[in-house]
């Protein structure tokens, strides 16, 4: 597959099915131009087993391996914490990294968020590259410069905006993912269908091609990833620091983050369930019609996202939502659908949310 370059001057994105072009770029940066004195690859134990050897084989075929070091963290959201962050920074110091060093985040969303935050803060900021290996990170977390770590059950409470030099997507890595990771990525892809404001074109594509997308049909999955990546890059360029428009990318996340933390769900799965809740709230508030609600929930269900809403402790859920970093002045900021393939930003009180959830989902 020929390398595809997309995005813009703020969010540079490259898509391929191999690492040859990435190896060439690193050769130019590290060897030919001597721009970086050291390079540290941050990855996790799962990626190390399945992908790391092929990755470095491509790079070291033309670049001096002596300039490279590796840090391997434990997989999972639990590693996105202060303890692991401190360990990572300590490794940077041990390796003798300077302001002229480079970090490569090689893994999924946790690796990207953690390594990106370490790069954003080490010596007040050094360069990094995102090399995402999951659907979720390829369409969302590795694009746009959001980095951060969690504090207890509260997601991304410490972080920084720092754009990577570029994001390099290799679609072949998806073939190594377990089914739950693939499913998680599909949740984030579906999110874009609700916010893209394209007269339902992407929603229809995902509905009509659900079997092919879930089976990673090469043409269909590349099209889905490209659509999401291009849209996110456009939104980020318009609102890099999330003061307005970029907030729509958080659709499904206000409820989803709370669900993820309280019920140990995969991020994309939580987002999909969060979207179901958001659609139900929007329907209750009269923002959307029943036929659109039914149609979109059916799309979510085609990607096998089911949840027993009856088991949720709604008061606990609302308490977590109240701690969301996007809230201000005592109000909860919620992204809700307000038309077909379109969302809006709404302010709601915690009491209003609690009342709607208890009524609409018969929470105990």
Write out the CATH class of domain 4-175.
alpha beta
Per-residue pLDDT band for 154 (boundaries 50, 70, 90) equals confident
pLDDT tens digits, one per residue of 69-126:
999 999 999 999 999 999 999 999 999 999 999 999 999 999 999 999 999 999 999 9
Q: Mean per-residue pLDDT for 330-356?
A: 90
Positions annotated as catalytic residues are: 124, 146, 188, 232, 242, 246, 250, 253, 257, 267
Per-residue pLDDT band for 264 (boundaries 50, 70, 90) equals confident
Work out the mean pLDDT of the chain and round it to a whole number. Answer: 94
Q: Mean per-residue pLDDT for 10-29?
A: 95
The continuous run of DSSP H or E covering 268 comes out as helix 267-285
Q: What is the DSSP letter of 294?
A: H
Q: Mean per-residue pLDDT for 161-176?
A: 97
Indicate if the pLDDT at residue 290 is higher than 50. Answer: yes
Per-residue pLDDT band for 363 (boundaries 50, 70, 90) equals low
Q: Report the C-alpha gap between 333 and 280 in whole angstroms.
A: 16
pLDDT tens digits, one per residue of 301-311:
999 998 888 88
Distance of CA 348 to the CA centre of its chain: 25
- Environment class of 146 (CB within 10 Å of its CB; exposed 0-12, middle 13-18, buried 19+): buried
The continuous run of DSSP H or E covering 347 comes out as strand 342-348
Q: Mean per-residue pLDDT for 242-263?
A: 93
**Tokens representing 265?**
């769900």
pLDDT of residue 328: 67
pLDDT of residue 241: 94
**Tokens representing 335?**
């992204």
**Tokens representing 219?**
């043409």
pLDDT of residue 329: 66
Which pairing describes strands 68-73 and 167-170: parallel, antiparallel, or unpaired?
unpaired
Contacts of residue 53, defined as CB under 8 A and 6 or more positions apart, other chains included, come to none
Query: Residue for token digits 């990577």?
Result: 164
Distance of CA 352 to the CA centre of its chain: 29
Find, among 164, 100, 86, the residue nearest to 131 by Cα.
Answer: 164
Domain boundaries along the sequence of the chain:
4-175, 179-361
Domain 179-361 CATH (choose: 2.60.90.10, 1.20.1090.10, 1.25.60.10, 3.40.1400.10): 1.20.1090.10
pLDDT of residue 364: 36
């Amino acid at each position: 597959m020929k390398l595809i370059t997309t995005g813009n001057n703020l969010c540079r994105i490259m898509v391929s099915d191999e690492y040859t072009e990435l190896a060439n770029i690193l050769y130019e940066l590290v060897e030919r131009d001597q721009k970086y004195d050291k390079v540290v690859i941050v990855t996790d134990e799962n990626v190390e087993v399945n992908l790391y050897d092929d990755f470095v084989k491509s790079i070291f075929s033309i670049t001096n391996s002596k300039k490279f070091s590796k840090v391997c963290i434990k997989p999972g959201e639990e590693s996105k914490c202060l303890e692991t962050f401190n360990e990572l920074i300590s490794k940077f110091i041990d390796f003798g990294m300077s302001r002229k060093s480079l970090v490569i985040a090689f893994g999924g969303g946790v690796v990207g968020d953690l390594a990106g935050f370490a790069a954003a803060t080490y010596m007040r900021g050094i360069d990094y590259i995102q090399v995402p290996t999951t659907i979720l990170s390829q369409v969302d977390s590795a694009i746009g410069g959001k980095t951060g770590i969690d504090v207890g059950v509260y997601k991304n409470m410490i972080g920084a905006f720092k754009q990577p030099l570029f994001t390099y997507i290799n679609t072949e890595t998806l073939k190594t993912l377990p089914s739950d990771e693939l499913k998680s990525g599909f949740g984030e892809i579906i999110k874009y269908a609700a916010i893209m404001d394209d007269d339902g074109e992407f929603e229809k594509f995902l509905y009509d091609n659900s079997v092919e997308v879930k089976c990673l049909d090469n043409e269909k999955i590349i099209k889905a990833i490209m659509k999401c990546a291009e849209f996110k890059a456009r939104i980020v360029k318009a609102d890099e620091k999330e003061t307005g428009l970029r907030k729509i990318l958080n659709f499904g996340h206000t409820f989803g983050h709370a669900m993820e933390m309280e019920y140990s769900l995969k991020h994309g799965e939580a987002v999909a369930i969060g979207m179901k809740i958001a659609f139900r709230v929007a329907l209750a508030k009269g923002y959307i019609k029943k036929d659109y609600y039914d149609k979109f929930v059916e799309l979510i269900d085609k990607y096998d996202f089911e949840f027993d809403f009856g088991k949720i402790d709604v008061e606990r859920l609302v308490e977590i939502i109240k701690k969301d970093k996007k809230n201000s002045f005592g109000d909860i900021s919620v992204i809700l659908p307000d038309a077909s393939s379109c969302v809006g930003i709404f302010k709601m009180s915690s009491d209003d949310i609690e009342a709607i959830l208890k009524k609409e989902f018969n929470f105990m």
